[in-house]
Copies of this chain bind each other. A is one copy, B any other.
Amino acid sequence: MDAMRTLAPGAEDSRDLGFGGRVALQTRNRFLNRDGSFNVRRVGLPFFRSLSAYHALLTISWPRFFLLSALGYVATNAAFAVAYLLCGPEALNGSKAVGLVPRYAEAFFFSVQTLATIGYGVLSPNGMAANLISALEALFGLMGFALVTGILFSRFSRPTPHITFSDKAVVAPFRSGQALMFRVANERSNQLTDVHARVILSRLEGPPPNRARRFHELSLDRPQVVFFPLHWVVVHPIDDGSPLRGITPEEFRAADSEILILLSAMDETFFQTVHVRSSYKPQEIAWGMKFADMFLRSEDGLVGIDMQKIHDLDPAH
């Protein structure tokens, strides 16, 4: 537990956790968006170096992905159609088209039949040049479709955990003291097991001009649950070891605090470890409130929760 460790000032101390110290003085923006993406900017990287084509194609929206695929398909056929046209009027057996545009359309559809390896045969390549191009196009088609359909399937089958975080975290009585709490639940029917939470407090500390952002990992009453079929209230007890000890809501806000969260879990559909991030800023913390009961009172005695109540709060006393 290094929650209370005070980092000494200096050039090197504030880059812990990959965030920067001085920078934070300029901004009241959040570092971590509620959806888990980072609110940061990196410049000075050559575009192609920073780009991971696969990552980009995995994470663009579905409409964009299908549009890109369709465009690639049309462009490839359009290019091969030009190649067939350039082979001369005898290049395609069975050709009946007259005039440039009809001939181009014919070559385009012949290209489709070759790229997708349909091969109706009404049109077929004639002569060495057209045959070579169609041989190349078949290879290109098989490899290209393998890439596109591979990405399609990866998108479809990629583990994308959907964890609902309560809209607000609360500071509520806990045992003989207080605790910071938020609750989470699994939205999906995928079973998650062995869920770990890590909670980090980010805030400004120290007097100006040495005021700098510090990061503290907050100890949790139970940092891990084995099973996660319903919901889980993650609890940081504000005890003597906590950096939140004795703090008021005003001080919390004045320090531009942010509660950063990383949940990791084993997704049993894939038997793969997945991650979800989120954060709470001061306006998303309810002091003196507690979470309302989510449990269902059902007739058949089955345990159940009402997911719509996950954000509901009650006064803490």
Contacts and interface: CB of A to CB of B under 8 A. Distances in A.
Interface of A: 8, 10-12, 15-20, 22-24, 26-29, 31-32, 38-45, 49-56, 58-59, 69-70, 73, 77, 93, 105, 109, 112-114, 116-125, 128, 131, 134-135, 138-139, 141-143, 145-154, 156-157, 159-160, 162, 172-175, 179, 181, 183, 185, 187-191, 193-195, 198, 200, 217, 222, 225-233, 235, 260, 262, 264, 266, 268-269, 271-275, 277, 290-291, 293-298, 301-309
Given A139-B70, A153-B150, A11 B291 contact: yes
Pairs A-B, 4 closest by C-beta atoms:
A146-B149, A41-B304, A44-B308, A121-B121
Contacts of A179: 12
B135 A77 contact: yes
Nearest to A66: B143
Nearest to A266: B275
B303 A232 contact: no
Given A44-B306, A156-B150, A275 B269 contact: no
Given A152-B147, A269-B54, A27 B260 contact: no
Given A41-B303, A121-B119, A297-B26, A55 B290 contact: no
Contacts of A175: 8, 10
Copies of this chain in its oligomeric complex: 4
A39 B16 CA distance: 32
A172 B27 CA distance: 29
Nearest to A149: B146
Contacts of A154: 157
Contact of A17 (B15, B49, B225): B225
B156 A148 contact: no
A241 to B, nearest CB: 17
A53 B230 contact: no
Nearest to A146: B149
16 contacts: A11-B291, A12-B179, A16-B225, A18-B231, A20-B305, A22-B295, A41-B305, A43-B304, A44-B307, A55-B188, A55-B269, A118-B118, A118-B134, A143-B152, A145-B146, A200-B226
Contacts of A93: 122
A132 to B, nearest CB: 8
Contacts of A272: 271
